[in-house]
Amino acid sequence: MELKEPKTQEEFEGYYDLRWRILRYPWNQPRGSEKDSLEDMSIHLILTEEDKILGAGRVHFNSNDEAQVRYMAVEENQQGKGIGGKILSGLEERAKQRGTNYIVLNSRDTAVPFYIKKGYRIIGEAPTMFGTIKHSKMRKDL
Ligand SMILES: CC(C)(COP(=O)(O)OP(=O)(O)OC[C@H]1O[C@@H](n2cnc3c(N)ncnc32)[C@H](O)[C@@H]1OP(=O)(O)O)[C@@H](O)C(=O)NCCC(=O)NCCS
């Protein structure tokens, strides 16, 4: 397995496709809804095995101190095998290298236990998405 930043067009297409299939399609959200206006300013990571993308995630910077993780997604049949943890650690490492002091994220309620295991704590509520997915705001000091 290899943890790396997507570089080729094929890697970026596979990366956004995974984000859409895991995080948007189950809630009937159209293609394109898996992206926002910060893609060019973000650090993206994919975890691959023989060129197949098993998981991915993104971090962007809200200020010099604060980074935000978004779009953590692991292929359904690969969840629970440590892949998300590896991607999250990689994003944290890169944020730290840029001088970030802490990371925030908005977690779906179903993913909160994952982030707690990785050292995040709930600091408040975050907006509900697509009318149904409850979110909590979480933070980890680096
Ligand atoms: C949430 C997600 C990114 C986690 O990645 P993953 O590869 O499945 O998680 P890992 O295998 O690295 O888990 C790391 C630890 O968290 C625990 N964990 C992961 N998901 C969990 C869950 N839903 N409930 C309880 N514990 C969980 C694992 O048991 C593991 O514990 P361990 O270190 O004691 O073995 C992934 O499951 C996913 O893509 N889910 C669907 C999309 C999603 O919810 N994304 C997050 C949006 S905010």
At 38-70, the pLDDT tens digits run 999 999 999 999 989 999 999 999 999 999 999
**pLDDT at position 132 over 90:** no
- CA 68-39-118 angle, to 5 degrees, is 30
Q: What is the pLDDT of residue 130?
A: 86
Q: How far is the CA of 54 from the centre of ligand 1 (A)?
A: 13
Closest C-alpha to ligand 1, atom 21 = 114
| Mean pLDDT estimate for the chain | 97
Order of all β-strands in the sheet with 66-74: 2-4, 43-49, 52-61, 66-74, 102-108, 133-141, 121-129
User: Would you call 25 helix, strand, or coil by DSSP?
Assistant: helix
Torsions phi, psi of 69, nearest 5? -90, 135
> Which residue from 38, 37, 50, 51 is spatially nearest to 7, judged by alpha carbons?
51
Mean per-residue pLDDT, 79-97:
98
Which domain covers residue 45, as residue numbers? 2-141
> Among residues of the chain, what percentage have pLDDT more than 90?
95
> Which residue from 40, 30, 28, 34 is spatially nearest to 14, judged by alpha carbons?
34
Q: Which band of pLDDT confidence, cut at 50, 70 and 90, is reported for residue 137?
A: very high
Please count the structural domains in the chain.
1
Distances from the Cα of 133 to the Cα of 77, 81, 98, 107, angstroms: 21, 24, 32, 10
pTM attached to this predicted model:
0.96
Q: What is the pLDDT of residue 54?
A: 98
Q: How far is the CA of 60 from the centre of ligand 1 (A)?
A: 21
Contact 105, 115 (CB under 8 A): yes
The CATH number linked to 44 is 3.40.630.30
Q: How far is the CA of 73 from the centre of ligand 1 (A)?
A: 9
Q: Return all residues near 97 (Cβ < 8 A) that are at least 6 apart.
A: none
**pLDDT at position 104 over 90:** yes
Which residues is 141 bridged to in the sheet?
102
Ligand 1 atom having least distance to the Cα of 75: 39
